Amino acid sequence: MLLLKEQEIRKGPDVTVDIPEEPKTDGSLGPAAQLRSEIERLKLKLIEAEWKIAELEARADVDPLLEILNRRGFERELTRSLAYVKRYATAAVLVFIDLDGFKAVNDRHGHAAGDALLKAVAVRLASNVRASDVVARFGGDEFAVLLWNADEAQAAIKARDLERVIEQINVAHGPALLSVGASAGIVPLSGQTTPDAVMDAADKAMYARKKERMA
């Protein structure tokens, strides 16, 4: 995310606002002109404050290590998605992924190695879904992917594909090549359910898939 300096062009999701120079005052202005100048100066300060707040809010939704949505950002996106599904009857599926063997990597090679592996997973997930889909780190070594315009059968195929994509990752760490497995559970979104219910069902589906893989 870009950190913007004063009097630079401020960028939002859909608009660009050019913040002009603050109006300057001098003793030659009359009382009315000085008042107008002060009002304009305060308006500019307010615009700057609003953009700074928006920037901080956006940062709060992003994982600082992986540069994808974090749990807070994902939960907000899931709430919006459920409302959209309810209103427009659109098909969408949540894929909930847990990395298999990640703790062993952390314990043996350290957190820096684990972080490198997490970054590789995030990049690979983002590059293997559509721009309209949503990828997030739910927490620790858990990832969530929202697939739009996909039914349950299509999502099941995609989930298996994402498992294979993750299993093919190799991250060099000294003489070692680090890798992990992945278990992905799926849950179709319904406008009649809640975010908590969706995540509970996704967690159960993921653990059922993990048991299936270990059998």
| Residue listed under structure tokens 């059922």 | 208
The structure tokens listed for 109 are 């090679």
The residue among 112, 104, 166 whose CA lies nearest residue 135 is 166
pLDDT of amino acid 5: 39
Q: What is the pLDDT of residue 95?
A: 98
Q: Digits of tens for pLDDT over the chain (215 positions)? A: 333 333 333 333 444 445 445 555 555 667 888 888 888 887 887 777 677 666 656 568 999 999 999 999 999 999 999 999 999 999 999 999 999 999 999 999 999 999 999 999 999 999 999 999 999 999 999 999 999 999 999 999 999 999 999 999 999 998 999 999 999 999 999 888 899 999 999 999 999 999 999 98
User: Which phi and psi angles does 7 have, rounded to 5°?
Assistant: 70, 10
- Residue 52, pLDDT score: 67
Q: Is-catalytic flag, 26? A: no
In the chain, where the domains are located: 9-60, 71-214
Catalytic residue, from 98, 100, 133, 141: name it. Answer: 141
Cα 64-3-132 angle, rounded to 5 deg: 55
Confidence (pTM): 0.74
Which CATH number describes the domain made up of 71-214? 3.30.70.270
Helices (H), the chain: 31-60, 71-88, 102-109, 111-127, 152-167, 195-214
DSSP string of 24-81, one letter each residue: P--TTS-HHHHHHHHHHHHHHHHHHHHHHHHHHHHHHTB-TTTSSB-HHHHHHHHHHH
